[in-house]
Amino acid sequence: MPRHLQDWPAYAGPGMVTGLLGVVLLGMAAGLGVRALRRPGAGVTLPLADARRYLADPRTRRLALMAGLSLAYLVSLGRGWPYQVTTGAFLIAAMLLFNAARWWVVLLVSVATAAVIAAVFNRLFLVPLP
């Protein structure tokens, strides 16, 4: 976010609260994980047959595809492309990959969604998008 244009301090950025909440939740999850591993009882094991079955499942592949697509979207934000183009392309790719609707409905929904989100954040909330 271009805080330097408005002379805001670093702690006044719009992502500060959500970032802190994410760090706190990650810390609590790590604490629970360590606590669970130290507690006596059933061990944490994953048989090779179960792992193979999980990796061969089409739902796992769709999850991995969506995770990769989301990662590519996040990396592409703020790289010089307008927000509307990046978000519209992400929505089009996601909906076409998962056969959400006909191509023209996908195109219409993606363009409209990207435009409305950009307008709401830029005009209503006064938050500049990357």
**How wide is the angle at C-alpha 77 spanned by C-alphas 119 and 108, nearest 5°?**
50
**In 10-57, where does DSSP find H-type helix?**
16-38, 48-56
For residue range 9-46, what is the model confidence (pLDDT) as tens digits? Answer: 767 766 788 889 999 999 999 999 888 888 887 677 77
Q: Which residue is associated with the tokens 């499942």?
A: 57
Sequence spans of domains, the chain: 1-44, 48-130
How far are the Cα atoms of 78, 87, 98 from residue 102, in angstroms, in the given order?
Answer: 30, 19, 11
pLDDT value at residue 108:
96
